[in-house]
Structure 1
Amino acid sequence: MSYSTSKMDLQKDAVRKIISMSLKVIRMYDWLLDLYVLDFFVDNHWSKLPSIWRKCFEKMDPEDLGKILSGHPTRHMLPLSFLALIKFVKALEIPRIPCKIGSDLRDEKDETLNSDSCGSHPKLKNLFLKHVKLKKRHEISLMADVVHSTALRSDCTAVVDFGSGLGHLVRVLAYKHDLYAAGLECQTQLTEEARKLDLELEYTVKKHLSEESVRKLKRPSHLDIRLSSEAQLQKLCLPDNMDSYGLIGLHPCGDLGPLLLKHFITCNKVKFICVVGCCFMKLTCDCEPCGYPLSKYVKGLDSGLSYVSREIACHAIEVYCERLMKGDYKNLKIHAYRAALERILIDRSSKLKHSPIRSIKHTDTMTFESYCQAALERLGLQATPEECAYGRAALSRWAHVVVVYTLRLAIAPLVETVILLDRILYVLENGLWCEIYPVFDPKLSPRNHIIIGRRV
């Protein structure tokens, strides 16, 4: 599904309506979204649920809760208020089931590659998989197809990737799809390694392609730059063959995604944009440069989204529900462990509230005593027998911790919907074409929507 019609005004109206309705639901359940799992015992989160919800979920198996959130039939009598909430979320959220859009977006210029090329030579079919992890392979392959198709439709031959890392995406776009590609990365070490990987790829290619094809290869550029403002983007020093270009952002963190959208709007050299959001909790929301909200319409609404609500909107709901349904949820006790530890820390001193504790390797057989001692040692403290006894008692309620966390996760898609549709609306308000598609497998890549904007 995409939020688009042939008439931009109708598209804007539809997006506004979804945003407005989503925010109304969010405002009704701010009290639930804003609960922080660390504070479960400190603030007695269970008591904050409506009494009829507590009665329903008190003894419910987490497996059943996972099925309910996944849309499976249930034998339980559920509160009408909860059923209404789930129906609203499902009706308003941006669909997350992946759709194939690369072939749909290709136009007549997209010709079949001959066998004397990086993209189609039988002995080079795994050329772009080396040094790339499974998740990245999935993302890069689909993102490259979308970018290539959009570039063709935009009559654009150059792309700039922000936060390019080791250059895996620009390498596919340059060598396979024959685009002039530049990757911008703030870590010099990654940029240097990306250049080495280019040379390694070319060394392999020379063994199988003709000299003429090798001469025609477009080697990507890798540039060191740390972006902090839209003004920097206006002054980018790009190669001469990149006078106009498309913008790419594959999971740019925090404000970088909105920054790219602003550059797309203000710079006529940018012919299109393909961006995938990430790390919503790092968005700047209360001062300039503002990462959320972007659109004039949403700025005029009661549109505030807390850090905690934006953070849970980045969690992997499909993977979580699948684990619940399979009964693979005992390791979720770690949430209860941390919440019990927080109660212990607060009892010692309010200054210890939300103390940063590095991840502790956890197993199903790990006792609370072991966990508590390992955590406190990192703070230079020692656990007392009384504290360990409290923790053991608190853990009898670990399923309640899972229930509250799961209920919060059920609403989280609405937060992501508002953030992403605000970006769509921002582009539409500025008179440019824009759509959004779920492309990646959400179990591999939870932030699986690509926003595509073009100058038409």
Structure 2
Amino acid sequence: MASYCKYSCKTPSETFQWIRAIMDFIKPYRFFFDAHVNNFFKDRLWEAVNKEWMDCLQDELVENLIQIPSGVVQDHWPASLKEFIITLRSLSLPRKQANLQEEFPLLQMASLSTVLAQGMNLKKKHEVEVLAAVVGVIAKDVETKTIVDVGSGQGHLAQVLSFEHDLSVVAIDASSHHGKITRARAERIRKHYASKMRKSGLDGRKWCVPKTVTCQILSSETLKALSYGVEKHCLLRESSIGHSPVEEHLSPHSCMIGDSSLILAGLHACGDLSVTMLR
């Protein structure tokens, strides 16, 4: 049986080598992972699988089948099937939990206030605290203030990045209902911080409020139109009508159009959304 390369993500070149190896491996099977579940049955896609593999596996014990993702093979299986499974396992990305403090020495995580944590369960609160802190560190490292929150949902991450990390955030989600909730939450948080500023006498500080965008990301053309719309919004700064002088510091502000870089972030971005946004 062939020997297998050990891959690493220690350097960008090694990471790309690993990615290319994965792409080369899965290329012959695109018809499988590009197909919908209905097509699997309608087009009888299982018939495209190596007949020797099918004849072997259809009578195999369930206990042995469920070990395939872990790279466990049986001696009596065809050599080509064993090679496929072992190669697949060797290409799997690591799933060990990283030590964030080692990866980001400047990382400082703080517990969210009750105002920012409103509507979050403990799991969501923990996730937002960690991801917001990581994004904050990276933003300082790459010297950008602009964040695009992909699949922002109800805006939990976007609002923490805005109010706690003083970042300019564009929150993108396909649901207009989520956008309304995000804006309503941001308004409540904004008023809380305005009151806090009055009491502390810190009237000079300006707070960032996320800009919400409702958009179905279906193609690169949609993204181009979205980019133009966001830039137009950023250049035409919203005025704050009916707010007190202190609250004016909390009104939506222009994005950092002059920045040459931005950070694409997402907490549980669904499906192909992250890949589409990268394209």
Band of TM-score, shorter chain: 0.5 to 0.7
Structure 2 match to 1:244: 256
CA positional deviation for 1:126: 4.8
| Aligned pair partner of 2:223 in 229, 232, 245 | 229
1:250-399 correspondence runs (5 A): 269-275=259-265, 278-280=270-272
Against the structure 1 CA distance between its residues 224 and 53, is the aligned structure 2 distance closer, same or farther, given a 3 Å change threshold?
A: closer
User: Per the alignment, in what secondary structure is the counterpart of residue 200 of structure 2?
Assistant: helix
Deviations 1:328-380 (A, max 9, x none): xxxxxxxxxxxxxxxxxxxxxxxxxxxxxxxxxxxxxxxxxxxxxxxxxxxxx
1:249-299 Cα distance to aligned partner (Å, 9 max, x none):
xxxxxxxxxxxxxxxxxxx6242323456423997xxxxxxx59xxxxxxx
Which of residues 165, 179, 194 is equivalent to 2:167? 179
Alignment correspondent of 2:153: 165
Tell me the CA shift for residue 153 of structure 1.
Answer: 1.0
> C-alpha offsets along residues 397-449 of structure 1, whole Å, 9 cap, x if unaligned?
xxxxxxxxxxxxxxxxxxxxxxxxxx6xx9xxxxxxxxxxxxxxxxxxxxxxx
Say if 2:147 and 2:262, in contact at 8 Å, map to a contact too: no
Secondary structure class of the residue paired with 1:271: coil
Amino acid at match of 2:132: A
Label 1:75 to 1:105 Cα distance change in 2 as closer, same or farther (>3 A).
same
Partner of 2:64: 64
Question: Which deviations, in whole Å up to 9, do the C-alpha atoms of 1:41-75 show, x marking residues without a partner?
Answer: 6555555433432233123343432222134x566
| Partner in structure 1 of residue 246 of structure 2 | none
Matches of 2:37 and 2:59, distance apart in 1: 20
Comparing 74-83 with 141-150, greater Cα deviation is found at 74-83
CA contact (8 A) 1:150 1:272 kept: no
Q: Distance in 2 between matches of 1:80 and 1:213?
A: 74
List aligned pairs for 1:192-207, cutoff 5 A.
Answer: 192-201=180-189
Check conservation: 1:161, 1:182, Cα contact below 8 A.
yes
1:135 to 1:79, Cα distance in 2 relative to 1, 3 A: farther
CA distance in 1, matches of 2:169, 2:177: 19
Q: 1:51 to 1:229 in 2, by over 3 A?
A: closer
**2-structure distance, mates of 1:210, 1:282:** 40
Cα–Cα, structure 1 residues 275 and 157, in superposed 2: closer, same or farther, change >3 Å?
closer
- Aligned-residue sequence identity (percent) comes to 21
Higher RCO (CA-CA < 8 Å; seq separation 6+): 1
Q: Is the 8 A contact 2:69 2:89 kept in 1?
A: no
Q: Is 1:90 aligned with 2:89? A: yes
Q: Which amino acid aligns with 1:190?
A: H
Using structure 1 for the length normalisation, give the TM-score. Answer: 0.43
Runs of 4+ in structure 1 deviating by more than 6 angstroms, as ranges, are 203-210
Distance 1:34 1:182 in 2: 30
Output the CA distance in 1 between the equivalents of 2:146 and 2:31.
47
Paired position in structure 2 for 1:144 = 132
Measure how far apart 1:172 and its partner are. Answer: 0.9
Partner residue, 1:331: none
Query: 1:157 offset after TM fit, Å?
Result: 3.8
Q: Structure 2 unaligned runs (5+)?
A: 1-6, 238-251
Instruction: Give the Cα–Cα distance (whole angstroms) in 2 for the partners of residues 164 and 59 of structure 1.
Output: 46
Would the alpha carbon gap of residues 42 and 231 (structure 1) be closer, same or farther in structure 2, given more than 3 Å must change? closer
Query: What does residue 22 of structure 1 align with?
Result: 22
* 1:149 CA displacement: 0.8
Aligned CA distance change for structure 1 residues 163 and 53 (closer, same or farther; 3 Å) = closer
The SS at the match of 1:165 is coil
For residues 271 and 144 of structure 1, the distance between their equivalents in structure 2, rounded to whole angstroms, comes to 18
Q: Which amino acid in the other structure matches residue 269 of structure 1?
A: D
Distance change in 2, residues 1:278/1:153 (3 Å): same
Bigger Cα displacement from structure 2, 27-36 vs 153-162:
27-36
Contact 1:191–1:222, Cα closer than 8 Å, also in 2: no
Q: Secondary structure at the match of 1:172?
A: helix
The residue matched to 2:117 in structure 1 has which SS? Answer: coil
Q: CA deviation at 1:221?
A: 3.3
- Partners of 2:40 and 2:46 within 8 A in 1: yes
Contact 1:175 1:217 (8 Å CA) reproduced: no
Q: Residue 217 and residue 102 in structure 1: after superposition, are their counterparts in 2 closer, same or farther (change >3 A)?
A: farther
Greater displacement, 169-178 / 207-216: 207-216
Say if 2:209 is the partner of 1:220: yes
Rounded to whole Å, the distance in 2 between the matches of 1:145 and 1:153 is 13
- Find the aligned partners of 1:174 and 1:270 in 2 and give their Cα distance: 19
